[in-house]
């Protein structure tokens, strides 16, 4: 068993001990020491990183009471040799702040609303707790955050004590520990009593601050995202920077930023609207131009054209505009793309030709798909011929129609 120095003193940043063994497993080289200040993954708290004789420790895991320090290089040391360890204090102290902050926030939800914490995760940017409830109000979240920050401000002592099962009745525990002997209790003076093997600062003041960022429903639970300690300051700094950049882009102060964005959105809507109406006018002129090239095929009056790369929506609109204003006319619009062909066929209300019949022939000709009715049909398929050729093919079909 490795003696865990952080149990008695979580502030040890460097230490000297003896190497118990050096082994290689599927993950890499690791060393086991007689004692260690490195915290291994556990209880929702991530492992420490640091140095052993100036070689980087990139991961620390516990297996059957033995703490394995995974090292980047196989150290030139043997069993029994002395070894100097130092841990990355910035990372560790951040974990201490986040972890102790979690104790506080969970206790606050329990104290105020009897909401029980059933899950905890400490991530790179924020941490989460899962409460076994299916709804949380803004007011409740605010009150729990406020109480946690009040306990921080009061700078209460955080103690650890070793107790046995029979001593547990002396403490108002929120949850029974999973082990029955050598239980490590973490006590936040007059506020929270918890069985925990993690590292914590010695007073609540060192947690600095707690800020809830948001929450979401996860099946039958509510998952709350929050940050503690230096993360509150660094996130404030980056959010502030973002607001300053947005303010300069929008030429507005923080107070008027929402209005500035709303104004922009309105402006965009208006622009879209006027663009739409201009487009309509252009299309009307276009249709007027097409009307000049009316042709007579087999006694039918046709307006035909071939486009390149236009949207189906445009093709339909042009066809409708032609036949709505010309009740004796058939409109036949073809469009060519890189690998496809599309067409739209429509008839004015006094034309008796079944354009669906012709349309179906065209669809078949281009191995395509489409649909419509006797008065209006559209289709699209492969570019087996050019657009002009499809138009010619269609005109032949019109010529073959019996009058
Ligand atoms: Zn803890």
Between 5 and 403, name the one with better pLDDT: 5
Half-sphere exposure of 69 (CA within 13 A, CB side): 33
Whether pLDDT at 202 is above 80? yes
Domains of the chain: 3-87 (2.40.30.130), 93-237 (3.30.980.10), 293-400 (3.10.310.40)
Residue 85 near residue 16, CB atoms below 8 Å: yes
38 Cβ neighbours under 8 A, 6+ residues apart: 6, 47, 48, 50, 57, 60, 67, 69, 85, 87
Map tokens 């599927």 to a residue.
26
Q: pLDDT tens digit string along 341-352?
A: 999 999 999 999
Q: What's residue 153's pLDDT?
A: 98
Residue 103 near residue 188, CB atoms below 8 Å: yes
Residues of the chain above pLDDT 70, percent? 100
Whether pLDDT at 64 is above 70? yes
Quote the ligand 1 centre to 215 CA distance (angstroms). 22
- 122, β-bridge pairs: 127
Between 402 and 92, name the one with better pLDDT: 92
Quote the ligand 1 centre to 107 CA distance (angstroms). 12
Quote the ligand 1 centre to 225 CA distance (angstroms). 18
Residue 71 near residue 56, CB atoms below 8 Å: yes
Q: pLDDT tens digit string along 130-144?
A: 999 999 999 999 999
Give the model's confidence band at 403: pLDDT under 50 very low, under 70 low, under 90 confident, else very high. Answer: low
Q: What is the pTM of this model?
A: 0.75
| C-alpha to C-alpha distances, 322 to 163, 283, 297, 328, 350, nearest whole angstrom | 90, 11, 17, 10, 13
- The mean per-residue pLDDT over the stretch 190-208 comes to 94
Whether pLDDT at 376 is above 70? yes
Quote the ligand 1 centre to 199 CA distance (angstroms). 6
Whether pLDDT at 229 is above 90? yes
Quote the ligand 1 centre to 227 CA distance (angstroms). 16
Q: pLDDT tens digit string along 235-266?
A: 999 999 999 999 999 999 999 999 999 999 99
- The mean per-residue pLDDT over the stretch 279-301 comes to 92
C-alpha 215/C-alpha 3 separation (Å) is 39
Between 331 and 179, name the one with better pLDDT: 331
Residues of the chain above pLDDT 90, percent? 86
Q: pLDDT tens digit string along 295-344?
A: 999 899 999 999 999 999 999 999 999 999 899 999 999 999 999 999 99
Quote the ligand 1 centre to 12 CA distance (angstroms). 17
- The mean per-residue pLDDT over the stretch 76-85 comes to 92
- Both tokens assigned to 199: 């590292």
């Amino acid at each position: 068993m490795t003696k865990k120095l952080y149990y008695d003193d979580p502030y040890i940043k460097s230490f000297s001990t003896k190497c118990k063994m050096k082994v290689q497993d599927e993950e890499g080289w690791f060393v086991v020491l007689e004692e260690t200040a490195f915290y291994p993954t556990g209880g929702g708290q991530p492992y420490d990183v640091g140095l052993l004789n100036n070689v980087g420790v990139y991961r620390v895991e516990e297996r059957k009471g033995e703490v394995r320090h995974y090292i980047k290089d196989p150290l030139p040391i043997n069993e029994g040799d002395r070894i100097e360890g130092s841990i990355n204090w910035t990372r560790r102290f951040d974990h201490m702040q986040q972890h102790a902050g979690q104790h506080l926030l969970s206790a606050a939800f329990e104290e105020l609303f009897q909401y029980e914490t059933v899950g905890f995760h400490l991530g790179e940017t924020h941490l989460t707790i899962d409460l076994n409830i299916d709804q949380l109000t803004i007011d409740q979240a605010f009150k729990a955050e406020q109480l946690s920050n009040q306990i921080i401000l009061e700078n209460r002592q955080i103690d650890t004590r070793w107790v046995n099962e029979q001593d547990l009745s002396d403490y108002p525990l929120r949850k029974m520990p999973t082990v029955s002997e050598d239980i490590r209790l973490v006590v936040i003076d007059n506020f929270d009593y918890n069985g925990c093997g993690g590292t914590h600062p010695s007073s609540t003041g060192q947690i600095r601050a707690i800020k809830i960022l948001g929450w979401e429903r996860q099946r039958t639970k509510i998952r709350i995202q929050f940050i503690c300690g230096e993360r509150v300051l660094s996130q404030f700094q980056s959010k502030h920077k973002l607001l300053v950049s947005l303010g300069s882009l929008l030429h507005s102060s923080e107070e008027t930023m929402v209005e500035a964005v709303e104004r922009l959105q309105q402006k965009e809507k208006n622009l879209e609207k006027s663009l739409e109406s201009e487009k309509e006018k252009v299309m009307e002129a276009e249709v007027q131009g097409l009307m000049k090239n009316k042709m007579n095929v087999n006694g039918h009056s046709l307006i035909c054209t071939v486009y390149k790369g236009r949207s189906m929506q445009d093709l339909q609109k042009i066809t409708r505009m032609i036949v709505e204003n010309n009740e004796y006319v058939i409109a036949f619009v073809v469009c060519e793309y890189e690998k496809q062909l599309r067409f739209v066929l429509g008839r004015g209300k006094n034309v008796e030709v079944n354009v669906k019949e012709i349309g179906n022939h065209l669809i078949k000709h281009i191995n395509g798909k489409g649909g419509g009715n006797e008065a209006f049909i559209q289709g699209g398929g492969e570019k087996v011929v050019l657009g002009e050729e499809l138009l010619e093919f269609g005109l032949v079909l019109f010529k073959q129609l019996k009058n």
